[in-house]
Structure formats: C-alpha cells, structure tokens
Amino acid sequence: MSTWNSRGLRGSVLEDLINRSNEIYLEKGLALIQKIPTPITPIQMDKQSRHITLAYFEQKSTVDYIGCVQGIPVCFDAKECSSDTFALQNLHEHQVRFMTEFEKQGGVAFLLIYYSSKDLLYYLTYHDMMKFWNRKEAGGRKSFRMEELDMEYTLQPKHGVFVPYLDGLQKDLAHRD
C-alpha cells in the first residue's frame, strides 16, 4: 500500500503555476484543463491544524491534468527534476498505459518537466516519452539526459502565462502532420 507523508500535501510550485496558467487559458477561451485529484484515505491528522499528516492512495492515479484545447483532447503529467537527468522511475507504468490509450483515442498526451537546477521548463512529447520508455523496457538506460532533448520544446513564460504549454502543444501538433 502506498502512503503519502504530509510533505507531499503542501503542493508544488510547478503545480501552482500550471493551475494559474490553466485559469488564464480558460479566461481567454483557449483551453479548459482540470487538475485530477489523486484519491487518498487519511490515516493521521494533526488535530490543531486539521491537516492530513499521513494517508494512503486509494487507487493508482492516471495523469495530473486532462481537458480540451479548442476541440483537441489533451492530458499531461507534471514532473520536477533536480538534476540534468530525468529518472524514468518518476513515470509510472499505469500513467504510460493511460497516455497510450488516450493517444489511441485521438487525444494528445505529453509531460511537462521542470528542471529545477537549470530553471528550465520542458514540454516532452508523447513520441519522445515513448522513445525513452521503450528504450528502458528493452533493457537500456532507465533515464534520459537533458542533452537528448530537442530544446525547441523549452517553454518560456510570456504574457503572464508562467507555463505556456500551448506553445509546446502547437509545435507538437505541427510535427505530427
């Protein structure tokens, strides 16, 4: 049974920035993206603050976000990485399966990776994610290095949008045709 310590309940800066970006995209009529909560069962609570201090996951989650961008169904997960190497153990098999089925249904799946040591935000296409995942499954590297990435998919904040993933999505769609 997986458990979640209270450290995880504080939320992440990346998640907060994505949520704010989603609000801006909604206000502008560009996208409707929802954060998918992970169902948990509390085990311990701090009675004074009424915060959960220990819980377990009721079921495996799918991805962090799902929604629609001007008629295009999208789903994505957000990951943070403190080094130049992204360990694929941070991506779970059930998430990869969900994203694969989502793509088969005509949707677009991707990862947003924040490399905190470089202060770099990256849009990882489903195609590239699967290239690294399949390499791992075939007995190869269990991670990928930043230098293996196409820096064209680096995201820069603009117009008040801190996580402009629609820029990455536009490039992703253009390369799929």
In a domain, 86, yes or no: yes
The amino acid that residue 104 corresponds to is K
Show the domain range for 164.
14-36+63-176
For residue 152, what is the domain's CATH number?
3.40.1350.10
In a domain, 57, yes or no: no
Least confident residue range of 10-14, 120-124, 171-175: 10-14
pLDDT for 33-83, tens place per residue?
Answer: 999 876 666 667 777 777 767 655 555 668 999 999 999 999 999 999 889
In a domain, 97, yes or no: yes
In a domain, 30, yes or no: yes
95 marked among binding-site residues = yes
Question: What's the domain count of the chain?
Answer: 1
Determine the Cα angle at 60 with ends 95 and 66, to 5°. Answer: 55
170 marked among binding-site residues = no
85 marked among binding-site residues = no
In a domain, 137, yes or no: yes
In a domain, 22, yes or no: yes
pTM for this prediction: 0.83
In which band, very low, low, confident or very high, does the pLDDT at 9 lie, cut at 50, 70 and 90? very low
Nearest of 145, 144, 141, 151 to residue 171 by alpha carbon: 151
Q: How many CB atoms lie within 10 A of CB 123?
A: 26
pLDDT for 87-132, tens place per residue?
Answer: 999 998 999 999 999 999 999 999 999 998 898 999 999 999 999 9
128 marked among binding-site residues = no
In a domain, 48, yes or no: no
- Across the range 6-16, mean pLDDT stands at 59
- Across the range 18-31, mean pLDDT stands at 96
pLDDT score at 48: 79
In a domain, 85, yes or no: yes
